[in-house]
Amino acid sequence: MANFRLSGDKAFIGGDLTVGSAAALKNFLLTVSRTPRREVSVDLRGVENWDSAAIQIFLSWMKGSKDTAIVWRNMPPDLVEDLRVTGLANLFSGVPHEQ
């Protein structure tokens, strides 16, 4: 099960980001976008599983958030590798994994 929390300019996303949680992820990211921000930090520390649906939703959200800088934090190393293999890693700027 996916879980989401917004605290100021920080979005925390965790759990299973698969096709089963795609609608919830999309709705959460739309909520993040409703308040104009210059920058938003997306912390993926709690993400356990993902699939191409989650990546597609992230890409669509990023495309629609042109006026907001999105900084990705604590991406699971395997997700970073999946993005690299698909040629999408350069679209996800930020800190892949912090301690």
How do residues 48-80 score in pLDDT, each as one tens digit? 999 999 999 999 999 999 889 999 999 999 999
What confidence category does residue 93 fall into, taking pLDDT thresholds of 50, 70 and 90? confident
Q: What is the CATH number of the domain that holds 42?
A: 3.30.750.24
Q: Could you tell me the pTM of the whole model?
A: 0.91
**Structural domains in the chain (count):** 1
Give the C-alpha separation, 90 to 84, whole Å: 8
Range of the domain at 17: 3-95
Do 39 and 64 meet the contact criterion of CB atoms below 8 Å apart?
Answer: no
Mean pLDDT of the region 22-50: 93
What is the residue-wise DSSP string for 14-81? EEEESGGGHHHHHHHHHHHHHS--SEEEEEEEEEEEE-HHHHHHHHHHHHH-TTSEEEEES--HHHHH
